[in-house]
Chain A
C-alpha cells in the first residue's frame, strides 16, 4: 500500500514540476506581450493622418470575438475536469467545442485583418496600425498554435485514451488556453474599449 502511495506521489511531483516549468514559460510570454502593449500604448496616437481606432473598429464585432474566446476558455476548463475524471467522450466533445469556438474567433480576427488591409489600412499606414497588427497578430499566432495543439491532443486521446501522460498534457494545454484569454481581456480593453473612448 505504501509503495503505491510513494509511486503516486512521485508522479504528482513530476506533474507539478512540468506544470511549473510551463507556468514559467507563460510568465516570460507575458513579458513579451507587455512590451507589445507598451509599444501600442506609446504609438496609439501616431496615426500619421490616417484613421484612429475609434474610426476603424466595430464594437459589437470586438465584443463577439471576446465572448467567443471567453466561452472557449470555459469549455476548455470543463474539458480538463472531464479528463481528470477519465470521461473520454466528454473530453472529446468539450475540446471539440473549444476548438470550434477558438476557430471562429480566429476566423473573425483574420476577416477583420483582411478587411483593414483591403481598405488600405494595413500595418504600413501608420505607427498606430503597425503596433495594432503586431500586438493582435502575435495573440492570433498564439491562438493558431493552441488550435494546432488541440487537434494533436484530440488525436492522441482518440488513439491512446486518457492515460496519465495525456491528462497531464491536456492540463498544460488548458493553462495555455486560459492564458490566451487573459491576454485578450487586455487587448479588448486597451485596443478596443479605450480606443473607442479616445
Chain B
C-alpha cells in the first residue's frame, strides 16, 4: 500500500472548519474594537493575538502547511521567512522609535532648515 501513488486530496471539512474559525476570529476582533469595552492596551494585544490565530488557522486548514511528507522543505522555507520578517519588522520599529526618541526638537528644526523647506 505504501507505494500507491500519493495524490494529495484534502477534505471539504478542512476548508469548512478553517472558514468558520476565520469568520469567528474576524468578527470577534471587529466587535472588540467597535465596542471598546477593553482598555486600549489590552485591546491591542487581543486584536494582535486574534490576527495571529487566524493566520495559523488559514495556514493549517487552507494552505495545509505541515501536512507534507518527511523532508519538510515547505515548512523550513516558511520558518526561515518568519525569521527574516521578524528581524525586518521589529528591527525597523526599534531603530525608528529610538531615532524619534533621541532627536531633540532643536535638532529637528535644524534639519528641516537645512533641507531648504523650513517649516
Binding site for B on A (CB under 8 A): 5, 8-9, 12, 16, 20, 23-24, 27-28, 30-31, 34-35, 37-39, 41-42, 59, 63, 66-67, 70-71, 73-74, 77-78, 80-81, 84-85, 175, 178-179, 181-182, 185-186, 188-189, 193-194, 196-197
Contact = CB atoms under 8 A, between A and B. Distances in A.
22 contacts: A20-B73, A23-B74, A27-B77, A30-B81, A31-B84, A35-B92, A38-B88, A38-B89, A42-B93, A70-B23, A73-B58, A74-B18, A77-B62, A81-B11, A84-B7, A181-B62, A182-B59, A185-B26, A186-B51, A188-B51, A196-B34, A197-B47
Nearest to A9: B5
Interface string B65-107: 0001000011001101100110011001100100000000000
Contact of B58 (A23, A30, A59, A178): A178
Interface of B is mostly: helix
Contact of B34 (A39, A59, A85, A188): A59
Which interface class (under 10, 10 to 19, 20 to 34, 35 or more) fits B? 35 or more
Nearest to B32: A193
Contacts of A66: 26
Contact of B77 (A16, A23, A63, A189): A23
B30 interface: yes
Interface of A is mostly: helix
B110 interface: no
Given A42-B96, A193-B47, A70 B19 contact: yes
B30 A63 contact: yes
Given A35-B88, A37-B89, A185-B55, A27 B81 contact: yes
A59 B4 CA distance: 51
A135 B105 CA distance: 30
Given A73-B62, A81-B12, A81-B15, A59 B30 contact: yes
